[in-house]
Chain A
Amino acid sequence: ETGVTQTPRHLVMGMTNKKSLKCEQHLGHNAMYWYKQSAKKPLELMFVYSLEERVENNSVPSRFSPECPNSSHLFLHLHTLQPEDSALYLCASSQDGSRSNYGYTFGSGTRLTVV
């Protein structure tokens, strides 16, 4: 356990379903992130929240919708996904953005399969 908890660990959903991924951090960090990790591709930054405000949104399709109700919790709401959205979705947190000497603390990820 890294201090960043993601649920569920595995999710299979149909293209017409609506689901949500949850992330919780217990480290007192003030920034949280969603990353997508696909096979043979680099980790792709999707969303950044700092002090509960979205500070970056890297051209992510609107079928992915983030929510950050407080500094400890981050959600990724999913609807009408495509098979190519199947990937490992990683949540991370950090103190003071990426300038921290310790970088990010990652959760173990949610393995999403869209059928």
Chain B
Amino acid sequence: GQNIDQPTEMTATEGAIVQINCTYQTSGFNGLFWYQQHAGEAPTFLSYNVLDGLEEKGRFSSFLSRSKGYSYLLLKELQMKDSASYLCAVTAGSYQLTFGKGTKLSVIP
């Protein structure tokens, strides 16, 4: 089976750095995705990790440790528009992405 855990909610200050953690236990592993979802909108792709290490893309970075079943999404220089839910998802088969419950991030002034 698949189990993905991430915090339910986080709050951070504009301009700060926030790290959203994700742990997973899956039967098989092909890769890990992070998605951003604003309220009432479609989830949008942020990052994909298949190998251990850090992938940096502008203000967002994602880290993966396959041996620990652990990933994090790092958001730097937070902006108000970063307030959204962040979804961790793992792929273990050809077609199935399994999602965590998502972390609702609130950015405050």
Chain B positions within 8 Å of A45 at CB level: 96-98
Cα A50 to Cα B96 with chains together (Å): 12
**Contact between chains at B42 and A98 (CB < 8 Å):** no
Q: How far is the CA of A93 from the CA of B8 in the complex (A)?
A: 27
Q: Are A48 and B95 in contact (CB under 8 A)?
A: yes
Q: Name B81-103 residues within 8 Å CB distance of A.
A: 87, 89, 91, 93-102
Once the chains are docked, how many angstroms separate the CA of A15 from the CA of B44? Answer: 32
Within 8 A of B (CB), among A82-106: 90, 97-99, 101-106
**B35 contacts chain A at the CB level, 8 A cutoff:** yes
Q: Is B60 an interface residue (CB 8 A)?
A: no
CA of A111 to CA of B42, assembled, Å: 12
Contact between B95 and A31, CB atoms less than 8 A apart: yes
Given the complex of chains A and B, what is the CA–CA distance between A108 and B50 in angstroms?
27
Known contacts A42-B100, A103-B33; is-contact A50 B45 (Cβ 8 Å): no
> What 0/1 pattern do residues 55 to 94 of B give for CB contact below 8 A with A?
0000000000000000000000000000000010101011
Q: Beyond A103-B33, A106-B43, is A42–B99 a contact (Cβ under 8 Å)?
A: yes
- Interface residues contributed by chain B, number (CB under 8 Å): 26
Q: Which residues of chain B have C-beta atoms less than 8 A from A109's C-beta?
A: 42
CB distance from A81 to the nearest CB of B (A): 21
Cβ-closest chain A residue relative to B88: A42
Interface check A12, CB cutoff 8 A: no
A99, B42: Cβ atoms closer than 8 Å: no
Q: Please determine whether B42 and A2 come into contact, CB atoms closer than 8 angstroms.
A: yes
A98 touches B101 (CB 8 A): no
* Residues B101 and A97 in contact, CB atoms below 8 Å apart: no
Are A98 and B93 touching (Cβ within 8 A)?
A: yes
B42 & A42 in contact (Cβ 8 Å cutoff): no
- For A98, the chain B residues whose CB sits under 8 A away are 30-31, 91, 93-97
Known interface pairs A42-B4, A90-B42. Does A103 touch B35 (Cβ–Cβ under 8 Å)? yes
**Chain B residues within CB distance 8 Å of chain A:** 4, 8, 30-31, 33, 35, 40-45, 48, 87, 89, 91, 93-102
